[in-house]
């Protein structure tokens, strides 16, 4: 490995999948604002994930819509007026 390009502040960090509450501990240098008490009684930095291997459809084999913070609803609301105006009046009256 090249010298001086890798971070030197690796420590144990707990990652928590918020969709199914699965937690795992590994070494990382990611910055964290929260902490959590782990199974061994020690307190570690906590990083919250929206999806992990225990909830991702590729690994679970289940298709699941992951809608964090109502993104699908926000999209539909944003383009609701566009969709309504896309139908032209002459297309509605097709009776000849």
CB 15 within 8 A of CB 45: no
Pull the structure tokens for residue 26.
């590994």
pLDDT at 63: 65
Per-residue pLDDT of the chain (96 residues; tens, 9 = 90+): 688 888 888 999 999 998 888 899 999 999 999 999 999 999 999 999 888 878 766 666 776 555 566 777 777 788 877 766 666 555 555 555
Strand partners of residue 51:
none
For residue 31, give the DSSP letter: -
Delimit the domains of the chain by residue range: 11-92
pLDDT at 24: 93
């Amino acid at each position: 490995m090249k010298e001086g390009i890798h971070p030197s502040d690796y420590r144990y960090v707990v990652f928590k999948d918020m969709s199914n509450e699965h937690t795992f501990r590994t070494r990382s240098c990611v910055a964290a604002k929260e902490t959590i008490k782990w199974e061994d009684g020690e307190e570690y930095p906590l990083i919250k994930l929206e999806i992990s291997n225990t909830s991702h459809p590729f690994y679970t084999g289940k298709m699941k819509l992951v809608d964090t913070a109502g993104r699908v609803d926000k999209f539909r609301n944003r383009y609701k007026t566009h969709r309504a105006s896309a139908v032209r009046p002459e297309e509605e009256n097709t009776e000849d």
